[in-house]
Chain A
Amino acid sequence: GDSVTQMEGPVTLSEEAFLTINCTYTATGYPSLFWYVQYPGEGLQLLLKATKADDKGSNKGFEATYRKETTSFHLEKGSVQVSDSAVYFCALSPPRGGTASKLTFGTGTRLQVTL
């Protein structure tokens, strides 16, 4: 079945550092890929998405590129802020599926940004 593997956290960075959170997946065909963010006490929020190979999703300075050849969707940000401290989840849905479809999640990676 489908699965998503994320790097284990927590990830601790100083403000303005470069962020990479690795995500790889196993799925048939071309799934849609997502990154969700969960701030303390809040529900998961869609951060960005990509629906086909080589697509780049971006939002709030975060980026991720759909790499079919390496089955990866790594999350990056050039300069993190304290306000980016949260848990980040990588997820996928069936081909041509959006977030309304059944989602398969990774384990989540906690990011802690310090001054």
Chain B
Amino acid sequence: GAVVSQHPSWVICKSGTSVKIECRSLDFQATTMFWYRQFPKQSLMLMATSNEGSKATYEQGVEKDKFLINHASLTLSTLTVTSAHPEDSSFYICSARGTPGNEQFFGPGTRLTVL
């Protein structure tokens, strides 16, 4: 199947700093990318859906100014956690979809720890 990578796989940062997480589709063009967040022992929660070249659509309760999503190319989407705080510590997972109706392929996730 198609491969999606995430970088970094884990990151530790100080409170108040911003952190950028990259999601790349390695062998296909992703017209849509999804960003999920997973708390320990909880399910994956969809944060936002981004289509290449347009603004992301955020799920209810997700602060768009806090979690900046950019999908500037067909192989790369980035999630920037701005002014991170300890409560933002979580596991962030992206997925990518080639064309409408195709399968979502998931990245391995990024663990963010905010001190």
Chain A residues with CB under 8 A of B42: 107
Is A100 a contact of B101 with CB atoms below 8 Å? yes
Q: Find chain B residues with CB under 8 A from A108 CB.
A: 43
For B97, what are the chain A residues with a Cβ–Cβ distance below 8 Å? 100
B105 at the interface (CB under 8 A from A): yes
- Cα–Cα distance between A46 and B97 once the two chains are bound (Å): 13
User: Which chain B residues have a beta carbon within 8 Å of chain A's beta carbons?
Assistant: 1, 4, 32, 41-44, 46, 49, 93, 95, 97, 100-109
Q: Is there contact, CB below 8 Å, between B43 and A46?
A: no
Instruction: Give A contacts to B, CB under 8 Å.
Output: 4, 8, 36, 41-46, 89, 98-100, 102-108
Tell me whether A100 and B100 are in contact in the complex, defined as CB-CB below 8 angstroms, given that A43-B108, A45-B1 are known contacts: yes
Least CB distance, A56 to chain B, in whole angstroms: 19
B21 to chain A, nearest CB (A): 14
CB–CB B108/A99 < 8 A:
no
Interface SS of A by simple majority: loop
Across-interface contacts of B109 in A (CB, < 8 A): 43
CA–CA, A4 and B60, complex, Å? 18
Say yes or no: B46 contacts A43, CB within 8 Å: no
Partner pick for A44 among B46, B100, B106, CB 8 A cutoff: B106
Closest to A108 in B: B43
Contact yes or no, B108 A103, CB < 8 A: no
In Å, the complex CA distance between A36 and B32 comes to 20
Contact between chains at B103 and A89 (CB < 8 Å): no
> What's the least CB distance linking B49 to chain A, in Å?
7
Name the CB-closest residue of A to B39.
A107
If A89-B44, A100-B102 are given as contacts, then 18 extra A-B residue pairs at C-beta distance below 8 Å, sorted by A number, are: A8-B41, A42-B108, A43-B4, A43-B107, A43-B108, A43-B109, A89-B43, A98-B102, A98-B103, A99-B104, A100-B32, A100-B97, A100-B100, A102-B46, A104-B43, A105-B43, A107-B42, A107-B43
